[in-house]
Amino acid sequence: MPGFYLHVPFCARKCPYCDFYSRPAGPALMDGYTDRAIAAMAPWAGLSVDTVYFGGGTPSLLGAERLGRLLGAIKERFSLSPGAEVTLEANPAGIEEDFFPQLRRAGFNRLSLGLQSSDPAELRFLGRAHSPQDAARAVGLAQKAGFSNISLDLMLGLPGGTKEKLGRSIAFAAGLSAAHISAYILKVEPGTPFSEQGVSLPDDDETAGQYLFAVEELARRGFPQYEISNFARPGFESRHNLVYWQGKEYLGIGPGAHSFLGGRRFYFPRDLEGFLQGAAPLDDGPGGSIEEFAMLNLRLARGLLLSDCEGKFGPAGAAAFSRIQQNARACPPHLLRQEPERLSFTPEGFLVSNALLVKVLEGL
Ligand code: SF4
């Protein structure tokens, strides 16, 4: 069953490393966006969806009333399966006491909070408005409101970062009883303030060391890795993100949101004004090739399965799987695990996954 993604393009201020599409907004713009996002759902009315994800940007900036209206409209227009996963990305800074109870009542059942680090100096470097205490307070308020499925984001590979600091951030996140942790490697994206300031990152060996440490440390604390950057207590893997990684279909609404539905890819451009004026999404060609399916599944720790390739593509899927296995034999064995009916990358393999993918998908 498809997933539904809503892109909320607003942030109180821009973090200097971020290249997601977002900008500051006042109440009138947020009202206009809410109305337009609801109207933009109309062409797909009746679609059955199993996961809903409000991402951004900072969706929590919309406030409980607009968020409730948006989720209400989604429930009205689409057929939301019972027990659907409904996630909201939220900023831990300045959460009001009644915010999370209102979200629970509206039907949200999962939160993703941008903790990033438990080190105040690292948070300042990242331009984040919250302190570690703000994050702990936000998680506590969410749990009090009944949210047990909470994901925290961490960042590694920061200038001056060490395994010790990272270990403390992991312990902090685990100590807050998170169910899921995402750990991303900081990158300096072109056009961001970090890029203009010439921020220099630790060398590849240091970052790789931190990544491999995080994989081990998170597993030790009960969060086995299930995707390149994602770790969860068993049963708390993000169902919405698994929709993407398992090559399933999804509908995305909002400026910058991408969709894969009915075998076609399409997207709303990163243009809030155009979106507000009712611009239709742009076609991005066909999707769902075996190559794409393999590439996405190889992001997962469980890897690519022969049974999935066969189930989705029939004999052509089995043939592609065997070609991939043949290509994989030429790759260094510490980077991937080859079993007769499964191929998966090791954590060392994930660190060089782009180069590995080029090799294993050759000739498809
Ligand atoms: S809050 Fe998140 S989306 Fe917004 S600027 Fe910072 S990193 Fe980007």
What pLDDT, in 10s, does the model give residues 161-184? 999 999 999 999 999 999 999 999
14 lines ligand 1 (CB under 6 A): yes
- DSSP class of residue 10 equals B
What pLDDT, in 10s, does the model give residues 181-225? 999 999 999 999 999 999 999 999 999 999 999 999 999 999 999
Interval between CA 331 and ligand 1 midpoint (Å): 37
Q: Kindly give, in sequence order, each residue whose CB lies less than 8 Å from that of residue 138, ignoring residues fewer than 6 positions away.
A: 90, 92, 95, 113, 130
What pLDDT, in 10s, does the model give residues 240-268? 999 999 999 999 999 999 999 999 999 99
What pLDDT, in 10s, does the model give residues 16-37? 999 999 999 999 999 999 999 9
CATH 3.20.20.70 residue ranges of the chain are 3-244
What number is the average pLDDT over the span 72-79? Answer: 97
CA distances from 66 to 8, 223, 231 (A): 11, 33, 31
Residue to mutate, 13, 17, 23, 58, ligand 1, most ligand atoms under 8 Å from C-beta: 58
* Alpha helices per DSSP H over 11-151: 27-40, 63-77, 99-106, 120-125, 132-144
pLDDT score recorded for residue 110: 98
Strand pairing report for 336-339 and 342-345 = antiparallel
Residue 94 pLDDT level (bands cut at 50, 70, 90): confident
Q: Which residues pair with 227 in a beta bridge?
A: 230, 300
CB 265 within 8 A of CB 284: yes
Q: Kindly give, in sequence order, each residue whose CB lies less than 8 Å from that of residue 168, ignoring residues fewer than 6 positions away.
A: 118, 119
18 lines ligand 1 (CB under 6 A): yes
Residue 83 pLDDT level (bands cut at 50, 70, 90): very high
What number is the average pLDDT over the span 151-155? Answer: 98
Interval between CA 58 and ligand 1 midpoint (Å): 7
Interval between CA 55 and ligand 1 midpoint (Å): 10
State the CATH architecture for 3-244.
Answer: Alpha-Beta Barrel (3.20)
317 lines ligand 1 (CB under 6 A): no
Q: In a 3-state reduction of DSSP, which class is residue 152?
A: strand
Q: In a 3-state reduction of DSSP, which class is residue 197?
A: coil
Mean pLDDT of the chain: 97
Asked whether residue 313 carries a pLDDT value surpassing 90, the answer given is yes
| CATH class assigned to 290-360 | mainly alpha
pLDDT score recorded for residue 303: 98
Residue 282 pLDDT level (bands cut at 50, 70, 90): very high
- Entry pTM: 0.96
CB 309 within 8 A of CB 70: no
20 lines ligand 1 (CB under 6 A): yes
Q: Kindly give, in sequence order, each residue whose CB lies less than 8 Å from that of residue 268, ignoring residues fewer than 6 positions away.
A: 7, 40, 252, 253, 254, 255, 256, 257, 275, 279, 281, 282
CATH 1.10.10 residue ranges of the chain are 290-360
Interval between CA 89 and ligand 1 midpoint (Å): 10
Interval between CA 45 and ligand 1 midpoint (Å): 30
58 lines ligand 1 (CB under 6 A): yes
15 lines ligand 1 (CB under 6 A): yes
The percent of residues above 70 in pLDDT, for the chain, comes to 100
CA distances from 9 to 34, 51, 239, 270 (A): 11, 20, 23, 9
CB 14 within 8 A of CB 22: yes
CB 100 within 8 A of CB 145: yes
As a whole number of Å, the CA-based R_g of the chain is 21
Q: Is 102 left (phi over 0), alpha (psi -120 to 50) or beta?
A: alpha
CA distances from 270 to 10, 30, 288 (A): 12, 16, 23
57 lines ligand 1 (CB under 6 A): yes
What number is the average pLDDT over the span 40-51? Answer: 97
